[in-house]
Structure 1
Amino acid sequence: MQIPFLQRLQALAGPALGKVVPADAGPPATAAAAQLQQVLAGLPEVLAAAVVTIESGQALATYATSREFQLPKVLAFNSEVVRQQLRALQALGLPADEQLEEILITLRQQLHLMRLLPNGRFLYVAVDCRDTNLGIARAVIRSCEG
């Protein structure tokens, strides 16, 4: 049963957990939400995931399993990591065919992958090392690029 008051009350508690949440109803956010659904189909044990614009650090769609994850803050910092890495590679003067594809942050119990997508975006995925193999996570993420 749908009770509007309870729905508004849940929204005040923070973002929805265990559910893909598009930023708005526009086509980019809808496409981003579909990408996250693909990630979840291949990696159901994902801790958090998002499609983020690199320049602004704003999420087009998000997914989290815990409120402790604080996705907006994490995504803002990770978009800065991506921007800085792109600048560093540009400073190296590498050939044009060398491009940044992925950034991996390895923690004791978690893996955080940022896969660059077309149109100035990246796909962010966090998984528990005990639940997911890095090779499988990379394969799933690559399959969700397009």
Structure 2
Amino acid sequence: MQIPFLNRLQSLSGAVINKVVPAGNGAEHQEAAQVLQRVLEGLPELVAAAVVQIDSGQAVATYTTSRDFNPAKIAGFNAALVRGQYNVLAALQPDSDEQLEEIVITLPTQLHLLRILTNKQQFLYVAVESRDTNLGIAREVMRTCE
């Protein structure tokens, strides 16, 4: 049942868990929510995911399984990482046609993947537990969900 007051109350207590949440009502937000839904179908053991604007660092849609892991809060930091990597590539290869596709961050217990979407203005962020998901599978799911 959709009760706006209860939905609003849940969002005040932290990140909404186990639900894809678009950040607005526009077509861009709905498309981002659909991308996250496809990722969730391919990676049901997902910890968190988001579609994020590269320029602003704003999350367009998010998903998380834990109130302690809020992808909307870390979206800006990940966007800064992507923008920084663009600057590094420009400095290393100023005349190259090479394009950044993804960034993989490996931690002892988690994998964090950032994949630039085909529109080049957003990226898909996914965090998974390394014991639950193979890196190759996570990369393939992200590649096919755009």
Number of residue pairs matched by the alignment: 145
Offset of 1:118 from its aligned partner?
A: 2.6
Q: Structure 1: which 5+ residue stretches go unaligned?
A: none
The answer for the alignment partner of 2:127 in structure 1 is 126
Residue 104 of structure 1 is matched in structure 2 by 104
8 Å CA contact retained: 2:48, 2:65: yes
Aligned to 2:53: 53
1:98 & 1:128 partners in 2: Cα distance?
A: 30
Q: Which residue of 2 aligns with 1:85?
A: 85
Distance 1:139 1:5, change over 3 A: closer
CA contact under 8 A between 2:62 and 2:72: conserved in structure 1? no
**Structure 2 unaligned runs (5+)?**
none
- Distance in 1, matches of 2:56 and 2:8, equals 28
Cα-to-partner distance string for 1:72-93 (whole Å, 9 max, x where unaligned):
2311111100000000001112
Q: Deviations over 1:21-78 (max 9, x none)?
A: 0011100000000000000000000000000000100011000011111322311111
Range with bigger deviation, 107-116 or 70-79: 70-79
CA distance in 1, matches of 2:12, 2:125: 25
Offset of 1:5 from its aligned partner? 4.6
SS at match of 2:68: helix
* 2-structure distance, mates of 1:123, 1:130: 21
Displaced runs of 4 or more, over 6 A: none
SS in structure 2 at match of 1:124: strand
- Equivalent residue runs for 1:5-84 within 5 Å: 5-84=5-84
Q: What's the C-alpha RMSD, in Å, of the aligned pairs?
A: 1.5
Q: TM-score, normalised by structure 1?
A: 0.92
User: Percentage identity across aligned positions?
Assistant: 61
Q: 1:140 to 1:2 in 2, by over 3 A?
A: closer
